[in-house]
């Protein structure tokens, strides 16, 4: 197994919370305005349960099938847990996403809007929605391009109104993330979207300096993922 012990997960969470606090203070921000999404993809329900025991309540998963398997009973047993979907959602998985997610961070194409609206009506439960923006314009990555934001965000507003709450982005691995984070923040501001989901294990402190309201941290909490997960784990067809 690749899971770290309960104690180590607790220590890692404590370190990250301290780093988030310090990064917020340094940036002149209220630490309470930054929430930690513990990205548990490829880690077991036991590892997730360890994090819960150390008071972690927000989790992120990027595959619906895996999220459903691990979180259906965890959510029933722990009603205060919130799950964020942070990976691309195929149309036939939208119903399942609506059933389990508090937030879907990956609204990334016009063709998912009507099926998503129908799923929300059918299930009678409405996750908050973030728009994924591909600031690096990487062909293998999901998300709208920045120049499509005007059109796409107004389309989203028409369909969902105030359910549209934020933006999410993943900068290209080899770029300095700062300009990408700033671009995402300025798009969020322009549309009065309060939530900004940016920053991962290696750059969450930079993201906080830029204005993150959610940081998505996996490896720095749960350890390395198994090798087979590394390829394409943030890509379109994951
Ligand atoms: C896996 C993943 C993360 C977490 O990445 P780490 O480098 O392990 O912190 C964050 N965001 C998305 C969209 C991911 O797929």
Q: What domains lie within the chain, and their CATH numbers?
A: 6-228 (3.20.20.10)
Instruction: Please say whether the beta carbons of 105 and 195 come within 8 A.
Output: no
Mean pLDDT of the chain: 94
Q: What is the pLDDT of residue 97?
A: 98
What is the rounded average pLDDT of the residues 167-179? 97
Q: What is the pLDDT of residue 3?
A: 83
Q: What is the pLDDT of residue 238?
A: 42
pLDDT per position as a tens digit, 83-116: 999 999 999 999 999 999 999 999 999 999 999 9
Which residue is closest in CA terms to ligand 1's atom 4? 218
- Lowest-confidence region among 117-126, 155-164, 226-235: 226-235
Q: What is the pLDDT of residue 228?
A: 63
pLDDT at 128 over 50: yes
pLDDT at 237 over 50: no
Q: How far is CA 64 from CA 71, 88, 172, 210, in A?
A: 10, 9, 23, 30
Q: What is the pLDDT of residue 20?
A: 98
Distance CA 107, CA 111 (A): 10
Which residue is closest in CA terms to ligand 1's atom 14? 234
236 pLDDT tier (thresholds 50, 70, 90): low
Q: How far is CA 194 from CA 62, 75, 134, in A?
A: 22, 26, 19
**Percent of the chain predicted with pLDDT > 90:** 93
pLDDT per position as a tens digit, 40-83: 999 999 999 999 999 999 999 999 999 999 999 999 999 999 99
Please choose from 218, 220, 224 the residue to mutate so as to test ligand 1's pocket, defined by most ligand atoms within 8 A of CB. 218
Q: How far is the CA of 40 from the centre of ligand 1 (A)?
A: 9
Please tell me the pTM assigned to this model: 0.95
What is the rounded average pLDDT of the residues 201-212? 98
Decide which of 167 and 228 is more confident.
167
Residues having CB closer than 6 A to ligand 1 are 39, 41, 62, 86-87, 170, 200-201, 216-220, 233-234
């Amino acid at each position: 197994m690749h899971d770290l012990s309960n104690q180590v997960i607790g220590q890692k969470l404590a370190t990250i919370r301290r780093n988030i606090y310090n990064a917020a203070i340094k940036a002149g921000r209220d630490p309470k305005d930054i929430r930690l999404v513990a990205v548990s993809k490829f880690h077991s329900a036991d590892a997730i349960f360890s994090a819960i025991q150390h008071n972690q309540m927000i989790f992120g998963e990027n595959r619906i099938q895996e999220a459903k398997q691990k979180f259906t009973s965890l959510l029933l047993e722990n009603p205060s847990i919130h799950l964020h979907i942070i990976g691309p959602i195929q149309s036939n998985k939208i119903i399942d996403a609506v059933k389990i997610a508090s937030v879907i961070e990956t609204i990334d194409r016009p063709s998912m809007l009507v099926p998503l609206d129908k799923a929300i009506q059918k299930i009678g439960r409405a996750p908050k929605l973030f728009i994924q923006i591909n600031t690096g314009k990487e062909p293998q990555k999901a998300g709208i391009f920045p120049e499509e934001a005007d059109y796409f965000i107004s389309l989203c507003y028409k369909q969902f109104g105030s359910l549209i709450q934020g933006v999410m982005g993943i900068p290209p691995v080899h770029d300095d993330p700062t300009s990408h984070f700033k671009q995402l923040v300025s798009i969020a501001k322009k549309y009065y979207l309060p939530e900004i989901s940016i920053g991962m294990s290696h750059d969450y402190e930079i993201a906080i300096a830029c204005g993150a309201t959610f940081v998505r941290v996996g490896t720095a909490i749960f350890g390395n993922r198994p090798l087979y997960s590394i390829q394409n784990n943030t890509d379109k067809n994951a």
